[in-house]
Amino acid sequence: MNKRVFLNIQETAEKDLIVTVKIFESKTGLSYDTLLAGDKGKLLQATKIYSKYQEWQGRYRNLAAFLAFRIRRKESGQLTNFSEMEQGFENCRQQAKQLSASLTSWSDGQDFLPVKTILSKHLSPGDSIQVLLETENFELRKLPWHLCNLLPDNVKHLPVEIALTAPEFQRISKPPASPTSKEKIRILAVFGSNIDQESSRQALEELVGDEEIQLLEEPDLDTLKSQLRSEKGWDIVFFSGHGESQQDGQEGRIELNQNLRVTISDLKDALSEAIGKGLWLAIFNCCDGLGIANQLAGQDLYLPQIIVMREAIPDKVAPQFLQYFLEAFTKNESLYTAVRKARHKLEALEQDYPCASWLPVIVQNPAEVPPLWQDLGRRPTDVCPYQGLLAFGEDNTEFFFGREAFTKKLVEAVYQDSLVTVIGPSGSGKSSVLHAGLIPKLKQNGKWQILSFRPGNAPFSALASALISHLEPQLQIDPTTRDQKIANLAATWQGEDGALRKKLEAIVLEKPNTPLLLVIDQFEELYTLCEEKERQCFLEQLLEVVKALKPYAQKFTFVLTLRADFLGNALSDRSFADVIADADQMLGPMNHKELEQAITKPAEKLGVRIEEGLTQRILNDVNAQPGELPLLQFALTQLWDKIKDAQLTHAAYQDIGRVQGALAQYADQVYQKLPSQDQERVRKIFIQLVDPTNYTRRIATRKEVGEQNWDLIRKLANQRLVITSSHQSCDRKGNLVLEETVEIVHEALIKGWSTLETWVELDQDFRIWQEKLRRSMAEWEQKTKSADLLLRGLPLAEAEDWLKKRSQEIDPDEQEFINHSIKARNRRRKGIIVGLTSFSVIVSALAIWAGVSAISEANQKIGAQIALSESQFALNKRLNALVEGIRASRELTKLQGWGLAKKNIQSAVASTLPQLVYGVSEQNRFSGHSDKIEGVSFSPDGKLIATASADNTVKLWHPDGQLVATLQGHRNWVNSISFSPDGKLIATASSDKTVKLWQIECAAFEDERCVEVKGKLLKTLEGHKDWVLDVSFSPDGQTLATASRDGTVKLWTQDGVLQQDIPVKSGRLEENQVWGVSFSPDGKILATANEDRTVKLLSLEGTVIQTFDQHGDRVRDVSFSPDGKLIASGSDDNTAIIWQRDGTFVKTLEGHNGHVNGVSFSPNSQTIVTVSDGEDENVKLWTIDGALLKTFNGPLVFLGGARRQIFV
C-alpha cells in the first residue's frame, strides 16, 4: 500500500522541537489521502544540531575554489591554495561524520519514541512510503534529514526519500474535466552563463528520447517569460546555472546571463500561467536553491514538485545528478525513487566531491500526487477512442484492443498463404481487424503495396479506383482524366481474358521486394449489390489471379472478409469453394478478457477512469455473441459523450440505456427531435437503405432516396446514423458514373433499432416490389429500352397500383419506366402500332400472349379455390370451406381492381360465398356468471375457454360448456383475460387497478379428459393508478402488456417484474386513457386503442411509430391480423376501421347500432369479426375488403386454424 507520513515540526521557546506525526493511506485519483493515525513526540536541544550543521556548512563552503561551486558570492575563509586542499577535504568529511552521528542520536531519543511507535504500527515492509517534513524554520529545512533515524526498526531498511513541504499549500492541478491524450513531454531547458552546458544538454537529449526540448541559452527576461507562457504549456522546467538564496531562505535568485539576475517574483506571472497549463516539475540544478523552492512552493504558485540543491553544488556534480535522476525517472520510477537512486549514485563521487549525495532535496506540494514519467505530456483532447457503429481503421489503431491474438494469427497467415479469407458473423469486427489490426502490423514489419476496396455494385471499377489511387503519386495522374482511366481499366479487365491477372502480376514482378496485399472488404456485397453477370466475371478473374500468383506466396496475398451467412453463396461456386476451402480464418466472439480490454484500454489511453464495478456491469450486459460488439462500441461511444471529470460512471451508463438499449434510445432521440414532416421523410429514407429480402444494409443513390431529402440525410450523417460518400459505380446503362450515395452506418442499426425494423417490415411488400422493378428496368435500359422488356399484364397492373399509392417514393426513372409500359399497353389496346416487320409482330404477339396467359392462370386459380370450398362444404368441413372461399374472394378483389377478372369467375364467387357463410352454425352457449361478461379467450390448444366478468371472477370452461374452474381474487370487474402462448398461465386485468397472474393445471381427469382445473395465483402486479382495461401476452410469452385508464401501457416480465412504463400521451390530459393493447405477431410492435380517438403503433421502448386518427370517438379495441399486414380497430363511433401497418387507410366497417367493443381476425387473416354492445348485442362477420358476410347474436372468437363461437 502507499503510505504518506507527515511530520509537522514546531520549535518551542526552549529550542526543543514538537513533532506531530500523521499517517495517511495515499490513493491515486481524486481521493488523495485517508488518515490512519497520529501522535506527537519531541526532538530536544535543536540548537546543538543547528551548530553542528553550521560547522559543517562552513567547512563545506571553504572548498568552493576547489569544487567550482555554482555560486557567485565569496565566503570568508575560503581555501585558495592547493596546499590546503587535502586538509580542507578531510576537515569537511570529519565534520560531516559528526553531524551525521548527531542527527542519528538526536532522532533516537526517548522523547521521539511515540512517533516511531505509531509509525511501527501502521507501516510495513511491503508499503511504498513517502515522508513529508513540514516546517517554516529555514534552519530545519536545510538539514540533511535523510541522515536522521526517523523510521522504526521494522521499516528503516527501506529506501525512503524525505521531502520538504511548505506550511501553506493548495491543490492547483485539477482532475482533468475531459480526456487527455499522451503527446510528447515538453521540457523547457534554461542555461545560464559560465557553466558547463554540454554535459546537461547531452544528458537531456540522450535520456528523454523523442520528447520535445526547448533550449534557452542565457536568455533575457522577456524571452524567458514568453517561453514560459507558451500556449502548449510545459511539463518540466529545468534550469542549469548560478543561483543563491537569501540568508533567511525566503527568496532566491538565478543568473540568466552575466548581466541579469532575477528572482522568482520577477517570473511569477509567467510561471503562474505555465503551472496553470500543466507544469508539474521544476529542477533547479544550481547552488543554494531552498530560497527558490520557497518562492515556487508559495507566493500563490504552489508548484506541484520542485527539486533543488540545499547547498552549493560543484559544476561536475550538477550534470551527473541530472543524468542519474533522468536514468531512473524516464524508466517510470517514481520521482522519490529517482531522486533517491541519484543520491545513492552521487555517493561514488564523494571522494572528490565531499557530501555530494547530501545536496538534492525534493520540495513537494502535498496536495498533489507526484507524477510518473508516463503521466507527463498529457493534453486535453476531444477524441473519442470508441468507434460506435463505424469500423476501426488505421487512423485509430492505437485504440483497437481485444483482437491482438487473432491479428497475430492473421499476420502469420498472410506471410504463408496467397489467399486468406476472414469469415465471421455480421458485427464480429472483420473490417476492424483488417484495417486496424492486420494492415498496420504489416506496415510496421516492412514495406507493403496495399490495394484495399469494397466491391459495391461495380467490383472492377472499385478495384481500378484502388489501383489508380495506389499508383497516383508515382505516375502523377491528371485529376481531369482520372475517372476515364478508371473506366478504361475496369472495361479492359472485364472484357479481356487475363487482363486483371497480367496487371497484378506486373505489379508483383516490378517490385519483387515489396509484397502486394490485395484486400477486398465486405466481399458479400458481390452477392447483395452486384449483378450476377458481372459478379461471375469478377470471380473468374479473381480465381485466375489467385492461381497464377500462387507461386509468389511471399510476394502476393489476397485477403477478403466475408459475412458467415454468405459463406453458402461463396461455396455454391465449386471453383471458388475449392480455393477458399483451406484459407479461412474464422473470427468468433471475443472472450471475457478480450472484451474487457476493448472496454478499458481505450479509456486508459486517454487518461479516463471507469467507475468501480462499471466494467463488470457492462460485461454482464454483453452476451458473448459477435453481433453484440457494435452495440457495445455504440454504447461506449454514447457513454463517452456523458463523461464527467474524465470518468465514465454508472449513472451515465444507466442514462444511455445500457448496451442493449443505447442504440435504440439514441436513434429514437434523434428521430423524435425532428419535426413531424421530417420524421416521415426519415422513414422513407431508411427503408431505401435496407434490402427487404435479407435485412442487410444497402447503398442507395441520391436519386433513389430523393433529391429533396438530401438535406435531411446530411443531418442524419452528422448524427452518425448514416454515412454519405461518393462512389464510382455502374449506372443502369452500364456506364461508370460518380454519384453521391448513402448507407446505414452499420447493420446493427437494423436489428438494434426496433423502429427501423418495424418500418422495414411494414414496407416489405412495397420494397420487394420496388427492387424487382429496378431489376426489370435495369435490364430494359441495358437492352436499349426494348419495348419487349416493358411491364405487361399483372406486373404492370401491380406497378400502376403502387404508383398510385407511393408515387413520392418511386424515383423519376422508375416512374418513367412504368409510364412507358402504360403507354405501350394503351397503344396495343388501340391497335395503333403499324409498320412492324413480321418478326416484330410475332415477338409482340408472344409477349401479349404471355400476359394473357398469366391473367388466365389467375382466374383459373380462383375457380379451383371455389371448387375446393364447395367440396369441403359437401363433406361437412364447413369452416375449412369458408376459409377457402374467403381466399378466393380476396384474389378476385385484386383482379377486379385491375379490370382482369372474368365474369364467370365473379359469378361463381358471388353465388358460393354466401352459402358458405350462412352454413356455419353456432356451437355452444355458456351461462354461470352473475353479471355480464367483459372478455373471452381460448387456450392455445383450444381445450379451455376463459371468461372474464363484471362479477369480479374468471371462469374456465370446456368448449362443450362444462364449467371446470372459477378464479376469485379481484375486488372489481375483470375487464380482460389472456392465455400465455404455452397455455400454462392466465393474466387477468381488473378495475381494481391490478393485474393477476395465475398458473393453470389440471386437478382431475376422467377418461383422459380434464374435468377439474386448478388455478393458482402466482403474483399480483401493482403499479397502475386507474382501471386496467386490457392485458395481452407477447407471442413468445415472455412479456405481458397492460393498458390502463391512467394513460400508460406497462410491460412486465413473465415473472411480474416491470420492464417498461410507457406513457401514451394525447393533446388533452383527460384523453390520456388507453383502452386496448395488442402485440404484433412478431412481438416487436404494440398497438394501442386510445380515448383520444386514435390508434397508436409503439416500439417496445415506447417510441410512437404511427398514429391512426380516422375514428370519431373513443377507440375500444385494436387487433393485428395474424399475417401482420393489417390492423383493425373498434370504436364508440359505432364503426371498425381496417388499416395497413404503414398507416394507409383501407376501409371503414359500418352497420353496428352501438359501440364496437371488440375486433378480431380469423387465423388466415381473411375475415374480421366485430362485436357491439348495441341493443341487439350483435356480432358481424366481414371480409377484409369490407363486405358484410353475416350478422350473429353473440361474441365470436377465432383460434388456430378453426373458428370458435361463444354465445352468452
- Predicted pLDDT of residue 944: 82
- Centroid of chain to Cα 964: 53
The residue to which cell 401497418 is assigned: 1141
Confidence grade of residue 196 (pLDDT, cut at 50, 70, 90): confident
Rounded distance between C-alpha atoms, residue 499 and residue 485, angstroms: 15
Tell me, what's the pLDDT at 874?
52
Q: What is the pLDDT of residue 41?
A: 93
How would you classify residue 561: left for phi > 0, otherwise alpha for psi between -120 and 50, otherwise beta? Answer: beta
Can you tell me the distance from the alpha carbon of 555 to that of 553, in angstroms, rounded to the nearest whole number? Answer: 5
Name residue, grid cell 523552492.
Answer: 293
Asked whether the beta carbons of 636 and 643 are under 8 A apart, the reply is no
What is the structure's pLDDT at 174?
Answer: 58
DSSP string, 90-158: HHHHHHHHHHHHHHHHHHTSGGGHHHHHHHHHH--TTSEEEEEEE---HHHHHS-GGGS--S-TTTTTS
The per-residue b/e assignment along 868-897, b for 16 or more CB within 10 angstroms, e otherwise, is bbbebbeeeebbbbbbbbbbbbbbbbbbee
The answer to whether 755 and 1103 are in contact (CB under 8 A) is yes
What is the enclosing helix (H) or strand (E) of 197?
Answer: helix 197-207
Kindly report the length of the chain.
1208
CA dist 964 → 876, 939, 1194 (Å): 30, 13, 22
Mean pLDDT along residues 346-368: 92
State percent of the chain over pLDDT 70. 85
Mean predicted confidence (pLDDT) in 759-786: 87
Here the cell at position 801 is 397500383
For the CA atoms of 191, 192, 198, 204, the dihedral, rounded to the nearest 10 degrees, stands at -20
Indicate the average pLDDT of the chain: 84
Separation between Cα atoms, residue 1097 and residue 1099, nearest integer Å = 7
Distance CA 125, CA 644 (A): 37
Q: What pLDDT score does 840 carry?
A: 41
Ramachandran area for residue 1047 (φ above 0: left; ψ -120 to 50: alpha; else beta): left
- Mean pLDDT to the nearest integer, 1170-1188: 76
Contact 957, 939 (CB under 8 A): no
| Confidence bin at 973 (pLDDT 50/70/90) | very high
Across 598-605, average pLDDT:
94
Q: Which residue is listed with cell 549514485?
A: 345
What is the structure's pLDDT at 733?
Answer: 53
- pLDDT, one tens digit per residue, over 609-654 is 999 999 999 998 886 555 678 889 989 999 999 998 889 999 999 9
Give residue-wise pLDDT tens across range 958-970.
Answer: 766 778 889 999 9
CA distances from 188 to 240, 245, 304, 647, 1076 (A): 11, 22, 16, 31, 73
Identify the three-state secondary structure at position 423: strand
* Per-residue pLDDT tens over the stretch 9-33: 999 988 899 999 999 987 654 344 6
Locate 188 and state its grid cell. 523547457
Q: What is the pLDDT of residue 1111?
A: 93
pLDDT digits (tens, 9 = 90+) for 231-245: 999 999 999 999 998
One-letter amino acid of 732: R
* Span 512-529, average pLDDT: 90
Contact call for residues 9 and 165 (beta carbons, < 8 A) = no
Q: For position 215, what pLDDT does the model report?
A: 94
Predicted pLDDT of residue 1206: 35
**What is the distance of C-alpha 1042 from the center of its chain?**
32
Q: What sign does the dihedral 413-414-418-421 (CA atoms) show?
A: positive
Q: CB neighbours of 329 closer than 8 A, spacing ≥ 6?
A: 335, 338, 373
Lowest mean pLDDT among 144-148, 949-953, 1008-1012: 1008-1012
At 670, list the grid cell: 434523434
Q: Which three cell numbers stand for residue 1180?
A: 358481424
Side-chain-side CA neighbours of 768 within 13 Å: the count stands at: 10
Q: How far apart are CA 534 and CA 541, in angstroms?
A: 11
H helical segments located in 745-811: 748-752, 754-762, 764-782, 793-806
Is the pLDDT at 573 greater than 60? The verdict is: yes
Residue 746 neighbours by CB under 8 Å, 6+ apart: 389, 390, 427, 630, 697
Q: In the structure grid, which three cell numbers stand for residue 680, read together?
A: 416521415
Task: Determine contact, residues 359/311, Cβ cutoff 8 Å.
Answer: yes
CA distance readout (Å), 393 to 128, 181, 547, 837: 41, 18, 30, 61
Instruction: Check residue 242 and report its DSSP letter.
Output: -
Range of lowest pLDDT (80-94, 181-195, 884-898): 884-898
- Asked if 368 contacts 171 with a C-beta cutoff of 8 angstroms, the reply is yes
For β-strands 128-134 and 162-165, DSSP reports them as parallel
Rounded Cα distance, 788 and 559, in Å: 43
What's the pLDDT at 1120? 93
Burial class from Cβ neighbours inside 10 Å (0-12, 13-18, 19+) for residue 707 reads: exposed
Kindly give, in sequence order, each residue whose CB lies less than 8 Å from that of residue 1008, ignoring residues fewer than 6 positions away.
none
Nearest to 229 by CA among 239, 250, 214: 214
H/E stretch holding 190: strand 186-191
Beta bridge partners of 1098: 1086, 1104
C-alpha cell at 904: 364467370
Specify the pTM.
0.56
Query: Which has the closest alpha carbon to 175: 386, 367, 384?
Result: 367
Q: Which residue has the cell 364449467?
A: 963
Report the alpha-carbon distance of residue 341 to residue 321 in Å, rounded.
10
pLDDT at 842 exceeding the cut of 60 = no
Rounded CA separation 638/624 (Å): 21
